[in-house]
Chains A and B, each alone.
Chain A
Amino acid sequence: MKAKTRGGLRQVGLVLGAAALLAASLAVPYWQLTLYAPQYPGGLRALVYLTHVAGDAQEISNLNHYIGMKALDEAAPVERALAIPLVLLFGALAVVSGSRRGPWRWLLRLPLVLFPLGFFADLSAWLWYYGHSMDPTAPIRLEPFMPVVLGRGVIAQFRTVAQFHVGFYLALGASLLALYDLRRKEPRAAQVRAESVARPAEVAAR
């Protein structure tokens, strides 16, 4: 390996941090759907992780069968199976990008940067699919609809609240961390010392 400048070290540190954040996001939910109805005083919560659904997902699926909606844990089988390898791969690519220059520096970390957007797009697509593929023989028939991805909605007697969870914000943090350095030119050693104190706070403030 060739000798690195302090700026290079900082770069590697930032992408390592980004990769670590993304890896950590595997352990926490990305998205949460809460359903409120009189007979569920505490509400029902589906917690969507990259790899699985948890919380009251089973009960929600059970209720969904009345409107002919598929069970929650049938969604995104490919994505869930690939989640761990992809996260590791994207993280590794980003780490490698830290010691690269030119377009590679940019391209290699692109998957990690776009990861939260990708999650959002995939989630929206699946929600659309669930709302548009309901069993026509279900006891209660609803017009096809687009479930709320973020915010409040109403389905039958349920009020719903959909929101991002910690995992999504970790991925978003990873994305911003990886993006942070791209705006800069090759930094000089003297500049770095001052920035290394000030910048992390700025990042966190976002």
Chain B
Amino acid sequence: MKQRGILMGLAVVAAAVLAVSLAGQAQRAGTLPADVQSLIEAKGLTPDQVRAAIQTYVPPGKYDEYLMFSSAGQGGQVLVFGIPSMRLLRVIGVFAPEPWQGYGVGSEETETVLGWRSKDPRLAWGDTHHPALSETNGEYDGKWLFINDKAGSRIAVIDLRDFATKQIVQNPNAVSNHGAVVSPNTEYVLEVTQYAGPFPFRYVPLTQENYNRHFRGLATFWKFDRGKGRIDVSKSFQIELPPYWQDLADFGKLESHGWAFWNSFNSERAIGGTLEKKPPVEIGASARDMDYLHIVNWKRAEELVAQGKYQVVNGMKVIRLKDAVEAGILYLAPEPKSPHGLDVAPRGDYIVVGGKLDPNATVYSFRKIQEAIRNKAFSGRDDYGVPILKFDAVVAAQVKLGLGPLHTMFDDKGNAYTSLFLDSAVAKWTLGPPYNPPDRAWKLVQKLPVQYNIGHLTAVEGDTVKPGGKYLVALNKWSVDQYRNVGPLLPQNFQLIDISGEEMKLLSNTPIGIGEPHLAQIIRMDRVKSWETYPVGTNPLTMRPDPNATKPGQQRIVRQGRTVHVYMTAMRSHYVPDRVRVKRGDTVVFHITNIERTKDAIHGFAIDRHNVNLSLEPGKTETVVLRAERPGVYPFYCTEFCSALHLEMMGYLEIEP
């Protein structure tokens, strides 16, 4: 029959396809070609290393799966890596000039962000510690990145549409900070002081008595306006804190939403005095066995501000310590001495504190904290009247991990990963119920040695309500013997670790030669949707059309008194105009638009012997304001190799005597 014939035919075809595919598989699964085998042998690679190499290899033209945003420490910038390749994709200028990006070298827009157009002294660097991606419902949304400057008590806002810094706010009342964290819907960016200072900030002679009486810590809740993409200082507020050295903070989420937590050290209030033979801070601040976890009801604080129960200090709304205590906004709980990291578990139910000088991760239960507050289970009050919850009433578990536990991240299988600074290791351990059944709860699973002195670690979306698992990066402070010596200033060492299986596996090393990164965050690539080019004439600060953007045919030079406005366009491979003549003492304002629309058709604009270099990505309009001071004829030229006639892309600025 005809039908049977067709069926037979189909069967033959299917068999043939199967045979071909099986043959293909056999070839793939078979032994490696001899040349590959000999490469492996020549390098003496173990099977694990070969596996790691393949796992982290991203072939040319292919993309990484994740982006990692890392602080650059004293470099003052943000570094962007691809994971698993660990290739550096971008450096984002934040607190320090970044000339390639045209950041802080002549452009009005970026120097405004840096605060250099105000009367304050120019801060030329920053100490970036903690990047924080914006969140929606406790998950990264890929829209903004915030990062702190510990040395200048500043917070920066980076727009991930163009990976550029848009705003830097300076805390008027704090003298240092440690970290930036965001609330689950990016309502607030929280900045907590590191070292206490006189409050309100002024000069107070540094004596123990003055310290205890006039010095304070501060928690600053910077209100973020999503619509504007900016921190709104007028809607932000601060909470006055005792003069302990508040440290790392995290927001509660899900069941603990509305609360925030941070730890502290130096509840001894040591102030040093080494030259006078007094104990150095490191001794004085480590004398007591316990320091204080701070437990803060920020929703309640918000209500207090709405009721007007605040003082305005240097333009900031401040809830005074006494009011915070009275309103039930602030509680303390003992924590083993001089702790460091503090991280809230994915469901918001546990708060994990790294012991640093104590071998335990101490885990606090949010439910127990609430109960203790309700039952007034206080062991007393500190010198400032803040109630201290009973340790036993709020702790869920203490998990002995090893020496120097610092920071904790989480995976998607109910595990926690804690960095062990002194042990130079990452500890994997299990969370308690509901993440794991009671018999598997709070157990150390594995310790993986890392090289060396690990500070922070970061896992894929590992501090959100839905951790991604898969990869973890150890941010090691010392590299010692891991790289060829490049002089006594050794690179930092990032190590990529596979956490997808039962056992952690070390995959790769990446040297960082630009500063000491503290924290990093890893986000799924598909969450970040950045622009390929700017709509032509876009001001990068407002991300809107620039009123001075110049269209082809409208290029011109306009003199207004002693100010000369140059409306210029840049495109391959010329500037219009390319000759500008001014007089000594004039102010020259260049409004330059890159009128290209083609991806990657970037131009620069540098002026010889001046602090001017712009990066004009396609469509961008930027402004340079220049005082013409030294007569001469200065070439200006394109600093980005844009075309075969790139070297010809130049012009002259004449400054007449």
Q: Which residues of A contact B (CB under 8 A)?
A: 56, 58-59, 62, 66, 139
**Would you give 14 A-B contacts (Cβ < 8 Å), ordered by A?**
A56-B598, A58-B597, A59-B597, A59-B598, A62-B571, A62-B572, A62-B596, A62-B598, A66-B643, A66-B644, A66-B645, A139-B644, A139-B645, A139-B648
Q: Could you say which residues of chain A place their CB within 8 Å of the CB of B597?
A: 58-59
Q: How far is the CB of A150 from chain B (nearest CB, A)?
A: 27
List residues 560-596 of chain B with CB under 8 A from any CB of chain A.
571-572, 596
Q: Which 4 A-B pairs have the closest CB atoms?
A: A59-B598, A139-B645, A62-B572, A58-B597
Q: Could you say which residues of chain B place their CB within 8 Å of the CB of A66?
A: 643-645
Q: Could you say which residues of chain B place their CB within 8 Å of the CB of A58?
A: 597
Q: Could you say which residues of chain B place their CB within 8 Å of the CB of A56?
A: 598
In the bound assembly, the distance between CA atoms of A56 and B598 in angstroms comes to 9
Q: How far is the CB of A40 from chain B (nearest CB, A)?
A: 9
Q: How far is the CB of A65 from chain B (nearest CB, A)?
A: 8
Residue in chain A with minimal CB distance to B600 = A39
Given A58-B597, A62-B571, A139-B648, 11 other A-B residues pairs in contact with their CB atoms under 8 A: A56-B598, A59-B597, A59-B598, A62-B572, A62-B596, A62-B598, A66-B643, A66-B644, A66-B645, A139-B644, A139-B645
List residues 599-657 of chain B with CB under 8 A from any CB of chain A.
643-645, 648
Q: Could you say which residues of chain A place their CB within 8 Å of the CB of B596?
A: 62
In the bound assembly, the distance between CA atoms of A59 and B572 in angstroms comes to 10
In the bound assembly, the distance between CA atoms of A11 and B597 in angstroms comes to 49
Flag B477-494 by CB within 8 Å of A: 1 or 0 each.
Answer: 000000000000000000
In the bound assembly, the distance between CA atoms of A66 and B571 in angstroms comes to 12
In the bound assembly, the distance between CA atoms of A121 and B492 in angstroms comes to 68
In the bound assembly, the distance between CA atoms of A62 and B596 in angstroms comes to 9
Q: How far is the CB of A182 from chain B (nearest CB, A)?
A: 47
Q: How far is the CB of A67 from chain B (nearest CB, A)?
A: 11
In the bound assembly, the distance between CA atoms of A111 and B5 in angstroms comes to 57
Q: Could you say which residues of chain A place their CB within 8 Å of the CB of B643?
A: 66
In the bound assembly, the distance between CA atoms of A139 and B644 in angstroms comes to 10
In the bound assembly, the distance between CA atoms of A58 and B571 in angstroms comes to 12
In the bound assembly, the distance between CA atoms of A56 and B571 in angstroms comes to 15
In the bound assembly, the distance between CA atoms of A115 and B597 in angstroms comes to 34
List residues 314-353 of chain B with CB under 8 A from any CB of chain A.
none
Residue in chain A with minimal CB distance to B61 = A41
Q: How far is the CB of B570 from chain A (nearest CB, A)?
A: 12
**Chain B interface, number of residues (Cβ within 8 angstroms):** 9
Question: Per DSSP, are chain B's interface residues mostly helix, strand or loop, or mixed?
Answer: loop
Q: Could you say which residues of chain A place their CB within 8 Å of the CB of B645?
A: 66, 139
In the bound assembly, the distance between CA atoms of A56 and B597 in angstroms comes to 9
In the bound assembly, the distance between CA atoms of A80 and B242 in angstroms comes to 76
In the bound assembly, the distance between CA atoms of A66 and B644 in angstroms comes to 9
Q: How far is the CB of A154 from chain B (nearest CB, A)?
A: 17
In the bound assembly, the distance between CA atoms of A58 and B572 in angstroms comes to 12
Residue in chain A with minimal CB distance to B643 = A66
Q: How far is the CB of B612 from chain A (nearest CB, A)?
A: 26
Residue in chain A with minimal CB distance to B597 = A58
In the bound assembly, the distance between CA atoms of A139 and B572 in angstroms comes to 12
Residue in chain B with minimal CB distance to A139 = B645
Flag B488-504 by CB within 8 Å of A: 1 or 0 each.
Answer: 00000000000000000
- Which of B597, B598, B643, B645 has the most C-beta atoms of chain A within 10 angstroms of its own C-beta? B598
In the bound assembly, the distance between CA atoms of A59 and B596 in angstroms comes to 8
In the bound assembly, the distance between CA atoms of A59 and B600 in angstroms comes to 12
Q: Could you say which residues of chain B place their CB within 8 Å of the CB of A59?
A: 597-598
- Which of A59, A62, A66, A139 has the most C-beta atoms of chain B within 10 angstroms of its own C-beta? A62
In the bound assembly, the distance between CA atoms of A66 and B572 in angstroms comes to 9
In the bound assembly, the distance between CA atoms of A58 and B597 in angstroms comes to 8
Q: How far is the CB of A32 from chain B (nearest CB, A)?
A: 18
Q: Could you say which residues of chain B place their CB within 8 Å of the CB of A139?
A: 644-645, 648
Q: How far is the CB of A73 from chain B (nearest CB, A)?
A: 12
Q: How far is the CB of B616 from chain A (nearest CB, A)?
A: 15
Q: How far is the CB of B486 from chain A (nearest CB, A)?
A: 34
Residue in chain B with minimal CB distance to A42 = B599
Residue in chain B with minimal CB distance to A58 = B597
Residue in chain A with minimal CB distance to B571 = A62
Q: How far is the CB of A43 from chain B (nearest CB, A)?
A: 13
In the bound assembly, the distance between CA atoms of A59 and B648 in angstroms comes to 19
Q: How far is the CB of B609 from chain A (nearest CB, A)?
A: 29
In the bound assembly, the distance between CA atoms of A56 and B643 in angstroms comes to 17
Q: How far is the CB of B89 from chain A (nearest CB, A)?
A: 18
In the bound assembly, the distance between CA atoms of A147 and B571 in angstroms comes to 26
Residue in chain A with minimal CB distance to B574 = A65
Q: Could you say which residues of chain A place their CB within 8 Å of the CB of B572?
A: 62
Q: How far is the CB of B320 from chain A (nearest CB, A)?
A: 61
Residue in chain B with minimal CB distance to A44 = B598
Residue in chain B with minimal CB distance to A41 = B61
Q: How far is the CB of A156 from chain B (nearest CB, A)?
A: 10
Q: How far is the CB of A55 from chain B (nearest CB, A)?
A: 11
Q: How far is the CB of B94 from chain A (nearest CB, A)?
A: 31
Residue in chain A with minimal CB distance to B572 = A62
Residue in chain A with minimal CB distance to B644 = A66
Flag B341-384 by CB within 8 Å of A: 1 or 0 each.
Answer: 00000000000000000000000000000000000000000000
In the bound assembly, the distance between CA atoms of A59 and B643 in angstroms comes to 13
In the bound assembly, the distance between CA atoms of A58 and B643 in angstroms comes to 16
Q: How far is the CB of A34 from chain B (nearest CB, A)?
A: 16
Q: How far is the CB of A46 from chain B (nearest CB, A)?
A: 14
Q: Could you say which residues of chain A place their CB within 8 Å of the CB of B644?
A: 66, 139
In the bound assembly, the distance between CA atoms of A139 and B571 in angstroms comes to 15
Q: How far is the CB of B236 from chain A (nearest CB, A)?
A: 45
Q: How far is the CB of A98 from chain B (nearest CB, A)?
A: 46
Q: How far is the CB of B640 from chain A (nearest CB, A)?
A: 14
In the bound assembly, the distance between CA atoms of A62 and B597 in angstroms comes to 10
In the bound assembly, the distance between CA atoms of A41 and B571 in angstroms comes to 21
Q: How far is the CB of B576 from chain A (nearest CB, A)?
A: 13
Q: How far is the CB of B617 from chain A (nearest CB, A)?
A: 15
In the bound assembly, the distance between CA atoms of A182 and B451 in angstroms comes to 88
Q: How far is the CB of A58 from chain B (nearest CB, A)?
A: 6
In the bound assembly, the distance between CA atoms of A58 and B644 in angstroms comes to 18
In the bound assembly, the distance between CA atoms of A66 and B573 in angstroms comes to 9
In the bound assembly, the distance between CA atoms of A49 and B331 in angstroms comes to 71
Flag B276-298 by CB within 8 Å of A: 1 or 0 each.
Answer: 00000000000000000000000
Residue in chain A with minimal CB distance to B645 = A139
Residue in chain B with minimal CB distance to A39 = B600
Q: Could you say which residues of chain A place their CB within 8 Å of the CB of B648?
A: 139
Q: How far is the CB of A163 from chain B (nearest CB, A)?
A: 23
